[in-house]
Structure 1
């Protein structure tokens, strides 16, 4: 983690002599006698009295006289009472939320596959470990964490707040949402409910709980919702969407832990933090992001019910087209996907799409920098019939496609 440097604004230094030189012209200092000063102050005081009296008379002439206080008849008084207004002690609310949430948060230990035999040492190298955080969402022992926390695991275990270590079974994962569901055989000490992430507003107080660095279990950080509906590049062919941005500190090892509101409800699952590399002065202390709870709830239900998330299936191999690629190969469009292989028996082939076609739009969503092909595709469901716009031999065309179903683990 890189440290952000804070530079204070520099102030110009000035010598005392320069100050006095500006106040008094050189060799022309005016001397006042005590008597002169007294006279000036007296005149100023009298002037102030006269001025204030004149102002009072002017105002009195324009404003009606104030009525003297008298008992008010009760029938003439209208009592207005604000409804739904309450005063919240933030400190108490945070501690109450932490007390409710704490027992449900765990440390997730990922025992990765062994690296194999080391011919130099003559021994099998021990399996490395990775760690993150997780949270129970049901009394049946189901808990959620990030996909990247459990990726490549040979076995998994969780550490409860009381220090107990329990083995956990991987139920299912979804790489696009970066979510995973695990299950323990014992009854968990607590389980949290989901809040409505669509109702979140910037400025709301939120609490992040997790195990930074895999060591500092149940670490609590407090912040606010900085923004909602964020999307970020993943380094793959898709973007993570509908993220909650927060200034609550989210460090390595916090991944998979809950972001909760003051009611102790899950409103997000912490997934990543963005830090500037300092190369262009873009150093930050860390901008945290969490997967919105409504997305988490929808994905985890499918993972629990069927072990995977059903994604729409097109049945074609493709290559992303960007402005640079379009210029290099003199393509007719700047953004889209170039179909390199189409299976005739799959949805794309059945709809008449061919190799060399360039898909530019699915439904009402054009494919561009902010709307990658995968994200646009994932907005639809298996079995849904959608119009696809494409370019063939320089001419724009369209066809109707009925998406198939493919489970993405």
Structure 2
């Protein structure tokens, strides 16, 4: 037997370290080649690390939440001698192949450094009582193959629920809602008393939630925010949306978001300071000609911001397709790192949960974030073509915008939203070229 030291691999894109999000194995577990070992998070994305060898785990690098540098020891596996030699040869072969690459548009991951140590001859063993079995020495339980995020797996494990027993509503990944339905169905149909006490639950802030906390803290600490809110009458826009959906054919169903994005993009050339990024260390504001629109998306693990590239060049249907594709990619974990970075302006919307008004936090280093709120129906005084006022039921929506006051003046933010309001209250202007 020999020890195989598996070091943290270079995942490319200049990543120097990663945070341990969830261990899929523990000391004493037997692992197979290509088995999922650990989930780590870089500043780009969450990555699954797989085993290059088969053997028994005898050491791991750290606990969930710890940061590990590229090239540092990730875990040690006890393997057969020949297997260790083959793994070392494979690593050297991969190193040679990587060094021969002369031109490529993508970073080439460097194979993990492998250290194999042969055990020294030991004196003849003397009889000794067998040690008491420990948790690490127990046979490893076969892991379930149900698709679920690390957060859902962790919650199910804490609740003592086997994910193999939980059915997904859409036949895909098991989500928190599926787990809630499973728990409700298996509770016997009873209702818990409102005053029933629950144990305190310390939750370690790790992974994406830790990144969100760091980014939001930096944004609020460094950016002097101000928020402006305006009420818009979207009655005619909602009718136009319904008319478009009635003749959409095979095109995706339009929500309000593609229409609003179109309005924002039409007005941004007039207000270039809103579609900008501020490098406060270099004291440079870059006004962007293209609108790379960040789209705040809620996932099981927390908030992610996939980016609609060149939103200003897409029509309503193209925007609808891209919104759906990126939202799904963010939620199922398939979004690529380039799809989660480089935004120049962000839109955040909670749809029906949007509330009357919001004060969204800017996605630094951007200088503005726009928050459409919930549509509500309310009676309003309306002036007819005859000049007479009457009361009508109208659909109203507030639009919030938070700006970096170092870059954007209040007058400019208000003027931008007022111009957007004119477009969405007069759909013929919005939909005309």
Point out which structure has higher relative CO (alpha carbons under 8 A, 6+ apart). Answer: 2
Q: Which one has the bigger helix percentage?
A: 2
Shorter-chain TM-score range = under 0.3
Answer with 1 or 2: which has the greater Rg: 1
Higher strand share: 1
Normalised to the residue count of structure 1, the TM-score between the two structures is 0.21
